[in-house]
Amino acid sequence: MIDVKMWGRALEQMPKLSQSEWHALDPVAKWLIACRASVLFMTFTAAALGGLMAWRAGAFQWDLWLATVLGLMFAHATNNLLNDYTDSKRGIDKDNYYRNQYGVHVLEDGLMNERQFWRYLGVTAGIALLLGGWLIMQRSGLTMDLMLAGAFFVLFYTWPLKYYGLGEPAVLLVWGPLMVGGSYYVLAGQWSWDVAWLSLVFALGPTTVLFGKHTDKLEADRGKGVNTLPVILGERRSRYCVLGMIATQYLLSIGLVLSGSFGWALLLVMISLPVLPGLFRIYQRAKPDARPQGYPEEVWPLWFSAHAFRHTRRFTSLFLVGVIIDTLLS
């Protein structure tokens, strides 16, 4: 039976389910949960920004844009599935590891066997490849290079990049110039450094979320030999790195307006400024040892990443609205 309500829930959060609840789900709901679809909104936003920039340049095409959006989202879903599979096979996600505490892990929770998992992974990766291949046929030039770069990060993010402090820089590059700039290139047929700079404002958001998550589980990662950037930098420096990235989002937005690349509408992101003092207070202290009273049980033990995620959603929504308004006025 199709459960549309669960589709919506899976797009908003990573739900925790029992065996009986899982087996009652339809295949689409299972896929959305397995691939952690709640984070795919960031990928959609990246493609939307690239599309808006192409619209400004008079080069927007609906068919190319829809194929780009779907291709990127299925590629991101493939990466999430590969991440869970690789960490499970390497023994990282065992023994009640963080990944198992804040959402369903279909392999570690015994909700899927490997054959079923590979069926989902194969279909997801296959759709991404078909869409990517079609886009390469429609738009030559750098399209193949951009696709190959994306494939590299899909295949090697979990290992070895994440294990050697390169996962966080990879996310900044992927969600910025690669996704946003790549989407623009597929539509417009040319590279734009204005778009690349704009993409960094957006890409810093997903990077703060990942940096926050890796800070949350720093000790667990260190114990497993996963040397993320927060493990290398230490907890205190990592917290201040996130604050620096958040501040940079606002400073870059102001810089893009002052440079004349974009109009005043981009400054709509400043509506988020009142939440910064509270966010900064959270990041100036170490993570609580136990879940604070009133803090959502389904979110814990995520702390820094959860706060970064809320800010990113708010900032990104305002940023996207600002770009839309600026595009309509240009």
d(CA 58, CA 10): 36
Q: Is the confidence at residue 108, as pLDDT, over 80?
A: no
Q: What is residue 305's predicted lDDT score, i.e. its pLDDT?
A: 93
Q: What percent of the chain has pLDDT over 90?
A: 59
Structural domains of the chain, count: 1
Q: What is residue 229's predicted lDDT score, i.e. its pLDDT?
A: 96
| Per-residue pLDDT tens over the stretch 229-279 | 999 999 999 999 999 999 999 999 999 999 998 999 999 999 999 999 999
The whole-number average pLDDT for the span 99-118 is 76
d(CA 157, CA 166): 8
15-19, 99-103, 157-161, 176-180: range with highest mean pLDDT: 176-180
The whole-number average pLDDT for the span 1-10 is 79
Q: What is residue 150's predicted lDDT score, i.e. its pLDDT?
A: 85
d(CA 249, CA 36): 26
In this prediction, residue 95 has a pLDDT band, given cuts at 50, 70 and 90, of: low
Q: Which domain holds residue 14?
A: 4-329
Q: What is residue 63's predicted lDDT score, i.e. its pLDDT?
A: 95
DSSP string spanning 241-257?
A: HHHHHHHHHHHHHHHHH
H/E stretch holding 96:
none
| Per-residue pLDDT tens over the stretch 173-182 | 999 999 999 9
| Per-residue pLDDT tens over the stretch 198-221 | 999 999 999 999 999 999 999 988
Q: Is the confidence at residue 94, as pLDDT, over 70?
A: no
DSSP string spanning 59-83?
A: ---HHHHHHHHHHHHHHHHHHHHHH
Q: Is the confidence at residue 96, as pLDDT, over 70?
A: no
d(CA 292, CA 297): 9
Tabulate helix, strand, coil % of the chain (nearest 5).
75, 0, 25
d(CA 315, CA 246): 10
The whole-number average pLDDT for the span 54-75 is 94
Average pLDDT, the chain: 89
- Crossing angle (nearest 10°) for helices 235-258 and 193-216: 160
